[in-house]
Structure 1
Amino acid sequence: MKNNVNIINVVKFAGAYVAFVIGSGFATGQEILQFFTSNGIWSIGSILISMAMFSFFASVVIGSGYEYRDDDNFKPYQHFCGKYLGKIYDIITPICLFLILVVMVSGAGATLNEYYGLNVQMGSAIMVALVLVAFLFGLDNLINIVGLLGPAILAFAIAVGVVILFRNGANISDATAQIQNLNMTKTSDSWIVNGILYAAYNSALGVAFVSSIGKGASSKKEAMLGGVVGGVSLMAAVLVMNLALLSKVTDVYDLAIPTLYFAKSISPVLGAIFSVILLCGIFSTAAPMFWTVTDTFSNVLFKNDKFKTKIIAFLIAAVAFVGGVLPFGTLVNVIYPYTGYLGIVLFICVVFKCIKTKKQEDTQDYKKAS
């Protein structure tokens, strides 16, 4: 049973991880534009860098969740970064997660406004209400919900991207030259830095939730495989969407929600369906982030007192709604890159932790053999 692998569980873990990462930035296409498409054809190299980093990080962190599944006091940041740096992350993480939660809420408002003409504040309020309800249902149900949403969102995004590529794929060869004449918002002028930052910012703040995914695994191998599958499938979808964006870059470079533009250009009905898919993508990231922020503050302030935790949840939801009225594209460009630098430090810590653990295991094996 030590290496038992249930493919359904692998897909569920991969789906939960993917759903956590997707969020409003991916689902709307806004972060793909800023991190990848803005670098033209070199964006393919950026995506491969991110794919390798996502797969490694997810497999290690989900695997650690399985290893420490019975330890209620397991602190993932301190486990990977050490006592002192880990505590710094424990303090910074809920603050940064809250800022990205605000981005999710803003993205929901922008989506409902752009497609349905709904008041931006009303759209943001709907998303805040949904994540609050999800929190009250508990973590186990939340993982099951987002685990199902992840694969569905990826499949739909890939399908839309493939249709756009089929129609406009020949334009990709001209995209890099066209981008030189466009005033595109970029996270960095370096395609290498963009590839690193994208994986880093998406991973920096989700260690608590991502590690919790592995608690339901039958084996460490099953947990780690879920991480690998999640990382590869996520970036495969990003690759398809990026190529689609390159093929229509002059039409979408300044749009807040380019993926919705794609869906509507294929079919009005598809546009309506995709608007719902977008909201699911936003919810799939906002809900785990809301859980992490609320759980962290509750643990620090009230030792997870259930009644007081609910009060904190309502307060965080209210503040997130107020922040969510800020412009979506601006929030993505300001908050995401800086979060990426936190993620780079975390990645380095995870790599060193893996090296240290491997050396310890080799030493123990050597002593047993002797």
Structure 2
Amino acid sequence: MNKQSIQIALAYMSVVIGGGFASGQEVLQFFTHFGVIGVAGTVISALLFAFIGMQIARMSSKMQADSHKQVLSRLFGAKAGLGVDLVLSFFLFGVGVVMLAGSGSTLSQQFGLPPLAGAILLTVLAVLTLCLNVKRIIHLISVVMPFLLTMVLLITAYSIFNYNAPLETLEAVATSNTDKASSNWFLSALLYASFNIAVGFPMLAVIGGLTKQPKAAAIGGVVGGLGLGALILTLNVGLFANINQLQGVELPTLALAGRIAPWLSVLMSLSLICMIYSTAVGMFFAFSARFARPETTRFKLVSLVSILIGLGLSQVGFTKLVGTVYPLLGYVGLALILAIAFSWIRGRSADAAAQKAELEASL
């Protein structure tokens, strides 16, 4: 695996591991609340992450794509690709709204502030970043991601080895919860992979296009996808092992940190705010850039209006938004997965036909 493969793998993982993943709420609704069978769901998601990541990276590398729109056009055709792009853009806005709600929940759970206060704080920061072009803030915040990921893994590992309830109790508590992404664990696993692929698709397509070696790009997609699967599995097991103490909690990883030490909970909450901020800015930037050129007056106006609308919508609540926006985005992602799978099958059929023709010509 060369340097380009490693870069693609890390980029793939970083774009998917946002504030929603780090909070634990995503994994809780898509996997943990299904009980032990949720572990099988994480394996299915991991395999999908690896396969689809490989196909997107390799396809964009072959095309030398400089935009995800080119890949969408190849997969769906010009008109349908434009439609998918528009739908995807609006769902990215939805993820930004979820992040605003997540900010409110973080400050509310950790410091007892009203949820609206945290949402307003993130709104102000996002508006300043996008409208005043404060680029250094994004660069500084990006440094937090590896630190936050390490914290989540350490907290999860500690929690796995310090659970205090029998398996039967954990299973009963987990499966009795109604906050689930869908009614079926298998569909939930498909939706989790597909919505994350939909979110990560634009970035992965561009990064793959920068690589002139399709094989290296494909390896990066596979490694990144399997890495994501390992992280999801670890977090899911940690949440399940402590599910009896996480009922009604909007930010499970923050609650687990508080059980270890109060200072760790404060540190975790600040890191989580940074990650949520980074994800929110990325989503609102992608949405606004779809309708206006970045750094123009129109772009700043679109950013301001969209974020303010998002602030109002965020008051629905973090848990409810995760359970609504993400599964819907997952269905959009499923269309993307099916198109990629069809393209792969068609490509293999064409290769097989070409090899057969070569063989017959040589005889």
Give the TM bin, normalised by the shorter chain: 0.7 to 0.9
1:18 touches 1:231 (CA, 8 Å); kept in 2? yes
Matches within 5 A, 1:217-296: 217=211, 219-296=213-290
Matches within 5 A, 1:88-103: 88-103=83-98
- Give the superposition deviation at 1:67: 3.2
Change (3 A) 1:177 1:315: closer
- Give the superposition deviation at 1:42: 0.3
Q: Distance in 2 between matches of 1:280 and 1:151?
A: 12
- Give the superposition deviation at 1:229: 2.3
Q: Distance in 2 between matches of 1:144 and 1:230?
A: 22
Of 28, 33, 36, which aligns to 2:28?
33
Q: What is aligned with 1:5?
A: 2
Q: Deviations over 1:304-355 (max 9, x none)?
A: 7833223222222222222223211111112211221121121110101122
Change (3 A) 1:134 1:54: farther
RMSD, aligned α-carbons: 3.0
Of 174, 192, 197, which aligns to 1:198?
192
- Give the superposition deviation at 1:121: 2.9
Amino acid in structure 2 at the alignment position of 1:48: V
Of 155, 159, 184, which aligns to 1:160?
155
Matches within 5 A, 1:52-91: 52-69=47-64, 71=66, 74-91=69-86
Query: What SS does the corresponding residue of 1:339 show, helix, strand or coil?
Result: helix
Percent identity between matched residues is: 28
Query: What SS does the corresponding residue of 2:162 show, helix, strand or coil?
Result: helix
Query: What SS does the corresponding residue of 2:292 show, helix, strand or coil?
Result: helix
Q: Distance in 2 between matches of 1:362 and 1:129?
A: 56
Greater mean alpha carbon deviation, residues 171-180 or residues 205-214? 171-180
Query: What SS does the corresponding residue of 1:221 show, helix, strand or coil?
Result: helix
Greater mean alpha carbon deviation, residues 167-176 or residues 105-114? 167-176
Amino acid in structure 2 at the alignment position of 1:322: G
Amino acid in structure 2 at the alignment position of 1:34: Q
Query: What SS does the corresponding residue of 1:324 show, helix, strand or coil?
Result: helix
1:20 touches 1:146 (CA, 8 Å); kept in 2? no
User: Please, which runs of 5 or more residues in structure 1 have no aligned partner?
Assistant: none
Change (3 A) 1:146 1:12: farther
User: Is the aligned partner of 1:16 residue 2:11?
Assistant: yes
Change (3 A) 1:148 1:364: farther
Q: State the TM-score, normalizing by the size of structure 2.
A: 0.87
Change (3 A) 1:188 1:317: closer
Q: What is aligned with 1:178?
A: 173
Q: What is aligned with 2:120?
A: 125
Q: Deviations over 1:254-313 (max 9, x none)?
A: 2111110001111112111211232233234323322221111126xxxx7833223222
1:21 touches 1:285 (CA, 8 Å); kept in 2? no
1:16 touches 1:144 (CA, 8 Å); kept in 2? no
2:67 touches 2:206 (CA, 8 Å); kept in 1? no
Q: What is aligned with 1:308?
A: 298
Q: What is aligned with 2:322?
A: 332
Q: Distance in 2 between matches of 1:144 and 1:226?
A: 23
Amino acid in structure 2 at the alignment position of 1:5: N
Q: Distance in 1 between matches of 2:156 and 2:68?
A: 43
Q: Distance in 2 between matches of 1:90 and 1:343?
A: 11
Greater mean alpha carbon deviation, residues 240-249 or residues 166-175? 166-175
Q: What is aligned with 1:210?
A: 204
1:76 touches 1:211 (CA, 8 Å); kept in 2? yes
User: Is the aligned partner of 1:187 residue 2:187?
Assistant: no
Q: State the TM-score, normalizing by the size of structure 1.
A: 0.85
Change (3 A) 1:15 1:172: farther
